[in-house]
Amino acid sequence: MKNILDRFKFPKDARSDFQFGRNGAVDLQSTTIHQRRDFLKNGLLGGLSLGMALDGSPEKEMEFITQKVKRDSKPSELKITDLRIAHLGGVPFNSPIIRIDTNQGLVGWGEVRDGASPNYALMLKSRLLGQNPCNIEKLFKEIKQFGGHGRAAGGVCGVEMALWDLAGKAYGVPVYQMLGGKFRDEIRMYADTPEIDDPDNFAKKLKETRLDKGYTFLKMDFGIGLLANKPGMLTGANVWKLNQKDKKSKTVGAYNSTKHPFTRIQITDKGLEYIAEYVGKIRAGVGADIPVAADHFGHFDVNTAIRLGKAVEKYQLAWLEDLVPWFYTDQWKQISDAIETPTLTGEDIFLKEDFIKLINAKAVDMIHPDLASSGGILETKKIGDYAEEHGIPMAMHFAGSPISMMANVHCAAATENFVALEHHGVDVVGWEDLVTGDKPLIVNGFAPVPNKPGLGVELNEEVAKKFLRKDSQWFAPTDQWNTKDSWDRDWS
């Protein structure tokens, strides 16, 4: 029987892979999109009606007519089928990368917060299997009970990022668009820089590895670690081991896990003079024009924090971060009221409620959520929006891979009071190569907001495998996490 291709003289060399159904019509199931387009073009040019060419089937006609409509997925039928992890190291810290698979071949990428266990995400798998990832807020409300402050939030927030990636890919839009659109096209990054004992070397490093690369906003560490083992600079420090190098000190407990007011360490006038001189050298090296924030001062009480704040006031630092733990709201207010350098905290706070408390109490001048602890993309936008309504700016803490960075970039683009996003990976060779997407990710200290669907980047498997921790397997099966075995409701 003469088939439809003969009837309109479809070129012989282009027809070999076509399959034919009854009456010689083309079987659409077994032709490629490219072939279908050629068939339609040639067929209609050959005077064939659409109905004739497609054997009169309305479904087939509809498929033909809409074949150029971009439709990666049927969002209403999308379902989560798997959740796996590849635990990367040296990013610069540990970054468990989450991959969520679906029944339609779409893959969503997320990331557990730096330094947190992959298990925080894996234990959520049984709560997610079979669910539609596009119902982000519904799923977030189901799983947020398994998050907590600091690293304990890592799984909940990392999964939330992957859900946004999937929803964006399913609907063909970038995440920022689903959040209400952009306030800006590029995201200002601020480059973190760990402490160096010699201030001249520190200033040189800031200049050569940050400013010369185009960064316009810096953060430095300085604190009582600089004063340890220098006579006359600290009171009460001799019973604590202030830094790893310090082998000699007697200890009355673990310094790192003793909350600030309980160490009773104080900085003497001599110590404050040393710190002020140190900061002054760095300010002179960097210049007055560049905002420089500061962090990691050490564990001392509210009075010493105020004395330190006053000692460095004239160097106009962008903010002083985490002088005391975030949950001492009254102490934060005491510090903020006493000094004129902006105060900031929040990188370990989970969910908006505790940010609201800080903002309502006027306890800090700025907030600093880490999206991988604060509740993910939407919760962080809600936090930013609440702060914005109260005239409080939002900087963002971040110390992960480009996957988590992109979650931050979309949130920052869509949140009005955003100031700058942290970057801990400036010195990590190959950091940007961990993903594919529009490159470079950062141009002169700013990250262009991607317009691709979802987060806008995909894990670059070849490069990421080089960062895989020795104790991790590359997205190994996680069937042991498939079964939900508890009654999870957190209310009665």
Nearer Cβ to Mg ion (379/422): 422
In angstroms, what is the minimal distance from the CB of 279 to Mg ion? Answer: 17
> Which residue number, 398 or 418, has a Cβ lying nearer to Mg ion?
398
Q: Which is nearer to Mg ion, 55 or 321 (CB)?
A: 321
Residue 114: its H or E element: none
What sign for the dihedral angle of Cα 379, 381, 385, 387?
positive
User: Least distance from C-beta 66 to Mg ion, angstroms?
Assistant: 51
Q: What CA dihedral angle connects 436, 438, 442 and 446, to 10 degrees?
A: -140
Which of 176/355 has CB closer to Mg ion?
355
From CA 301, how far away is CA 299, in angstroms rounded?
Answer: 7
Select 18 or 190, whichever has its Cβ closest to Mg ion.
Answer: 190
Binding residues for Mg ion, per CB under 5 A?
295, 321
- As measured in angstroms, the least distance from the Cβ of 347 to Mg ion is 5
Could you give the CA distance from residue 266 to residue 283 in angstroms, rounded to a whole number? 25
For residue 116, the one-letter residue type is: A
In sequence order, what DSSP letters do the residues of 219-281 get, joined into one string? EEE-SGGGTTTSTTSEES-TTS--STT--S---SS-GGGS-GGGT--EE-HHHHHHHHHHHHH
Output 82 or 114, the one with its CB closest to Mg ion: 114
Q: How far is the CB of 214 from Mg ion (least distance, A)?
A: 23
Q: How far is the CB of 150 from Mg ion (least distance, A)?
A: 12
Compute the least distance from the CB of residue 440 to Mg ion, in Å. Answer: 25
Cross-strand bridge partners of residue 394? 367, 418
Report the residue count for the chain: 492
Name the residue nearer to Mg ion (CB basis): 55 or 322: 322
Contact between residue 291 and residue 218 where contact means Cβ atoms under 8 Å apart: yes
CB of 172 to Mg ion, least distance (A): 37
Query: In the complex, what is the shortest distance from the CB of residue 259 to Mg ion, in angstroms, rounded to a whole number?
Result: 16
Helix axes 376-389, 136-143, angle to 10 degrees: 90
DSSP per position, 454-492: BTS-EE-HHHHGGGB-TT--TT---GGG----S---S--
Round to whole Å and give the CA distance between 282 and 201: 9
Distance in angstroms (rounded) separating the CA atoms of residues 99 and 273: 50
**Which CB sits closer to Mg ion, 87 or 424?**
424
* Chain residue at closest Cβ approach to Mg ion: 295
